[in-house]
Structure 1
Amino acid sequence: MGGSGHAHDEHKHDVTSPRLVAKQTSNLGMDAFVTAIDDGHAPQDNEHEWNISGDEGAIDFEGDSHSTHVNLRGLERDSAQVTLAEATIQMPIMETMPLSVISPIAHAPLQVVQNSPDIFQPTLPNIGTLTTDCTNKKHKRSASMSSHDDSNQCPICLEPWSSSGSHRVVSIKCGHLFGQNCIEKWFAKGKKDKTAKCPECNLVGYQKDIRFIWTKNIVAVDTSELESVRQDLREEQSARREVEKEKAKLQLAFKMGESQMLKMEREIKNLRIMNSTLLLQIEAYRAKSGITTAKRYVFNNLVAISAELQAARVMSFNPHHEMLIVSNGHGLLKISLRELSSQEYATIHCKPIRDAQCCPDGSGLLLTTSFDRTLKLTSTVRSNSTVQCFNLENPGWSCCWNNDNPQYMFCGLANDTVLMFDIRQTKAPVTRLQDHDKTGGKPLHSLIYIPRSDKSNASGLLAANFDHVFLWESNSNGESFSSGLQGNAEKARCTVFDMQIPAATCYSVSHDPMTQQVLGSFRGTSFTKHVVSALNITDGLPTLHAMRIQSGTGGQKTLARTQIFSRREQAGTASHIKTYVCAGKEDCCSLVIWGPDGEMQELENRVEWPKESVIDVQRCIQSNGKDMIAGLTERHVRLYTYE
């Protein structure tokens, strides 16, 4: 292009016209960039800047060699664009022509491209298809607004609002924020067209709805996550209140049930006392009338212990809670004789249990020892937790309580040593008892504490290994080993009894506290013998005097246990005490009871039962006077009732 602004009518298109870059103007309330680009014939390094001015109806472009006037008529705005329906470009070198579209999008410059010597065709950069059709105005405006989600900018002019002045931040009744002069102009224009609506949500609004926002800075904070957390907290608090209510109800029900249980236990105790009284009265009446009935042990029940072979080994009876405790592998199985279906298992040791003894004071403590070289105290009443654990220098084979003072316990080891422990001291044993020259140094399979009584002055710790039966005596005052012999094994006297059977080894020893009689069981290659002896003091030394010997058929391979017990029986008007021996018969897998008068009863052994020999025997006297014999096999407990 050539020429100046005063010779518009005479000047024609000049191929040397430069590329003209327009400056920015905001007089129209929007950002406008206009660039004139030649058709490529002019040198690319020849660039000149245009000055832009104008008002709401026209834009003037003035350059070094050209001047252009753009007349804007029928200006229309919607949500996405401004359409110049009848805008014309007036230039001295070209005819009047329509201007298609000028976009209000920020930083989207209008390009006026020189396509021919006489005509300039204004176009838009590559920002998508734009149209003058007004049917999509709402959709385009919302898309434009959503692209400028800035809490510090007016969504109409996209300029930062202020806290004072004409462009201060205000709100309308729908809650959206704008610059004051922008929304007032918007409503003023809408009032003329009767379409005053919020630029954001299209809610109808009026000038009177404008409210000032008194703030220095507005930043929109996303609180949706916080509200969600608060809602979760409210729900959690509500659920917790419901749980607390349910807990209170359950606690109340538990206390009521516990009170009812205590009441029923008292009633059961009274009924048992009444039952015992009635039984005594019946026995007295029978004796007075000369009525005699022969009683014997009859089969009551068969309780399964485990499906594995050699699972059970020993058992103990707790008379205070009427509970039978059976070793089962590394743990114990508790069986209530009141309700045989009530059973509970607890793991105690990490190796098979070798012996178990219930505490005589009724506290529910159980003393166990195992091949894992530990001696443990376990609570069997309210829980199955281990109360104390004592480490042993050798595997434990047997254990027992001190009946005179249950705070002390004894444990027989595999090296023929007896250790005494104090429940109040867990570091080490308080007494060590050993005399290998007398006892032979073999494992102690039986250990029984004999308290001092009126029937016998002999008291102490009765022990047995495979070769000998011997007694560790307490001091002359009858006190426990803890006071007279603590830490000093030389003061303890060991007496070995001469009750060995030729060609036989001892495999079990038991004691009857009612008669102070001792049972020693011996096994040979093809026989078993059970020797009943009386424990006395002769010339100041404890002695065992053999009273009778009960012989069993066949040998005994397993290291089983036998038991001696006494029972007061009525014969006419007189009553006397009879002592019985109970032992397993391995060749026929049965249980045999021998009486003092040579009578023998072989307890029922049904054909359908597994062929398992009896390895332990316990006599169980319940609080109602019910007399039972429990025979333990590898996988079952046989229960017999005296009727």
Structure 2
Amino acid sequence: MIKKLKEEIRSFKQVLDDCVQETSIVQFQLQQCRNELAKIKAEESLELKATSTMASMESSITGPKEFKLCRTFSLESSEKYRVLTVLPSYHTIVVSVEKKQSCGYGLRKINLFDTEISEYINLHSNWIKDIKSSSERYLILSTSLDKTLKLTSLSNNVTVQTYSLDAPGWSCAFDEYNDNLLYCGLANNTLMVYDIRNTKSPLHKLKDSNLSALAPIHSLNIGRLNDSHTTVLCSNLKQSYVWTFENDHSVRFNPIVLNAGKNNKKKSGTLFQLKHDSRFQTISHLLQKRKTFDKSKK
């Protein structure tokens, strides 16, 4: 009986040793695959940089070139997509998502090397109006009609910080000059400024008394004047304006008047987007002019 047990133990030990050896071989092969994948990604990254450099050199010599389709991403039939941001340093695209069946609102993270690889991150309880990515960190800032502003780490898909808002959020932005500052434009035309080191209250809550409360801030752009003063360019459907943060910690409000240029007449229409070019210190607007109708015509 004892002899039989010893033989069974010896047999089980042999099987265990074989399994351990096979596991070691598989782990070694897995590590080789990972190393090969890292090598391929590095080579693709170098190729992308080289292609970009060559394209910029060619464009400067021969003029503009046509865009060509490089990759496509198959959309999920159960999802709706709204806004998008790109993280070039991490080869990642992030889009806001509405899950039709579950009524979930979150982000889909897509790998640029292989668009079949994606992850869904559930974040909000209502439509996400804007998302922005940090240029240096693997972070996403999102704001929603659920009256929250959220800072999310894409490395582990975890929300780092949530800020409660007084009104639905419409736009958001990182401060490229100060990693600690976050901005959020609200539906009631208020600009919120947050410092991530202070989670209890906002740093600033800005709204000029002459501004309408019925015009949500749909665009935010952060800039610098004379390399010292931080400026926040805001735009809603009716007007654009600037908040300037002075060195003495005061904040100054300045409206932006849109002129036609030729006859110096004020432009009328609906403002849909505002962009700031820091190199040329220019501001561009996407404006839809109002249509006029002749009442005498039937």
TM-score under structure 2 length normalisation: 0.75
The answer to whether the 8 Å contact 1:305/1:328 transfers is: no
Query: Which residue in the other structure is 1:369 paired with?
Result: 143
Q: Flag the 1:452–1:265 CA change in 2: closer, same or farther, 3 A.
A: farther
Q: Could you tell which deviates more after superposition, 516-525 or 323-332? A: 516-525
Larger radius of gyration: 1
Shift of 1:266: 3.6
Please say if residues 188 and 216 of structure 2, whose CA atoms lie closer than 8 Å, have aligned partners that are also in contact.
yes
Name the counterpart of 2:252: 493
| Distance of 2:200 and 2:24 partners within structure 1 | 44
AA partner of residue 84 (structure 2) = M
Q: Residues 398 and 447 of structure 1 are in contact (CA less than 8 Å); yes or no, is this contact kept in structure 2?
A: yes
User: Kindly tell me: are residues 264 and 494 of structure 1, through their superposed partners in 2, closer, same or farther at Cα, counting changes over 3 Å?
Assistant: same
| CA root-mean-square deviation | 3.3
**Residue type of the partner of 1:343?**
S
Equivalent position of 2:112 in the other structure: 337
**Deviation digits for residues 491-539 of structure 1 (CA, Å, limit 9, x no counterpart):** 2101111117554122211222332221112224449xxxxxxxxxxxx
* Equivalent residue, structure 1, for 2:233: 462
- In the alignment, the residues of structure 2 paired with residue 267 and residue 370 of structure 1 have an alpha-carbon distance, to the nearest angstrom, of 38
* Aligned equivalents of 1:264, 1:502: Cα separation in 2: 52
Say yes or no: does 1:517 pair with 2:282.
yes
Aligned to 1:321: 90
Letter in 2 for 1:505: T
Q: Distance in 2 between matches of 1:451 and 1:337?
A: 32
C-alpha deviations, 1:552-588, integer Å up to 9, x for none? xxxxxxxxxxxxxxxxxxxxxxxxxxxxxxxxxxxxx
2:271 aligned residue: 506
Distance 1:443 1:510 in 2: 17
The residue type equivalent to 1:509 in the other structure is: L
Q: Could you tell me how far 1:265 is from its partner in structure 2?
A: 3.7
Contact 2:130 2:171 (C-alpha < 8 Å) held by counterparts: yes
For residues 468 and 333 of structure 1, the distance between their equivalents in structure 2, rounded to whole angstroms, comes to: 33
C-alpha distance in 1 between matches for 2:205 and 2:174: 15
**What letter corresponds to residue 460 of structure 1 in structure 2?**
T
Residues 502 and 513 (structure 1 numbering): CA distance in 2 closer, same or farther, change over 3 Å? closer
In structure 2, how many angstroms separate the alpha carbons of the residues matched to 1:424 and 1:301? 40
User: What secondary structure sits across from 2:171 in the alignment?
Assistant: strand
Give the counterpart of 1:384 among 137, 154, 157: 157
CA contact (8 A) 1:360 1:406 kept: no
Pair 1:255–1:407, CA change in 2 (3 A):
farther
Shift of 1:249: 5.9
> Relative to 1, partners in 2 of residues 1:417 and 1:248: Cα closer, same or farther, differing over 3 Å?
farther
Asked whether the equivalents of residues 324 and 335 of structure 1 are also in contact (C-alpha less than 8 Å), the reply is yes
Q: How much does 1:303 deviate?
A: 3.9
What is the total number of aligned residue pairs between the two structures? 266
Q: Which residue of 2 aligns with 1:307?
A: 77
- 1:175-211 CA-to-partner distances (Å, cap 9, x unmatched) read xxxxxxxxxxxxxxxxxxxxxxxxxxxxxxxxxxxxx
Within the candidate set 55, 61, 65, 1:295 is matched to: 65
**What is the distance in 2 between the residues matched to 1:282 and 1:383?**
40
Quick check: 1:459–1:474 contact (8 Å CA) kept in 2?
yes
Structure 2 segments unaligned to the other structure (5+ residues): 1-8, 99-104, 260-265, 293-298
Give the partner amino acid of 2:271. C
Report SS of the residue matched to 1:320: helix
Aligned to 1:447: 220
Secondary structure of the residue aligned to 2:85 is: strand
Report the alpha carbon displacement of residue 452 of structure 1 after superposing the two structures with TM: 4.3
Query: Per-residue deviation at 1:425?
Result: 2.5
Give the 3 Å change call, closer, same or farther, for CA 250–432 of structure 1 in structure 2: farther
What is the alpha-carbon distance in structure 2 between the residues aligned to residue 260 and residue 299 of structure 1? 27
Provide TM-score, normalisation by structure 1.
0.37
The structure whose residues are more often helix, as a share, is: 2
Q: What amino acid sits opposite 1:463 in the alignment?
A: C
| SS of equivalent to 2:280 | coil
Amino acid at match of 1:465: N
Residues 384, 463 of structure 1: CA spacing in aligned structure 2 closer, same or farther, 3 A cutoff? Answer: same
Q: Return the offset for 1:434.
A: 1.9
Task: Give the Cα separation in 1 of the matches to 2:106 and 2:184.
Answer: 19
Return closer, same or farther for 1:469/1:279 CA change in 2, 3 Å cut-off: closer
Query: Which of 1 and 2 has higher RCO (CA within 8 Å, sep 6+)?
Result: 1
Rounded to whole Å, the distance in 2 between the matches of 1:340 and 1:326 is 13
Pick one of 110, 114, 130 that aligns with 1:355: 130
1:292-331 CA deviation, whole Å, 9 max, x = no partner? Answer: 465233555654434369x222111112123221111211
Equivalent runs, 1:235-254 vs 2, <5 Å: 245=20, 252-254=28-30
Q: Which of 173, 177, 182 is equivalent to 1:409? A: 182
Q: Which residue is equivalent to 1:396? A: 169
Given the alignment of the two structures, is residue 473 of structure 1 paired with residue 244 of structure 2, yes or no? yes
* Residue 344 (structure 1) shift: 2.6
Distance 1:273 1:350, change over 3 A: closer
Shift of the alpha carbon at 1:370?
0.5
Gaps of 5+ in 1: 1-233, 477-483, 486-490, 528-643
Partner of 1:419: 192
Contact persistence 1:353–1:371 (CA under 8 A): yes
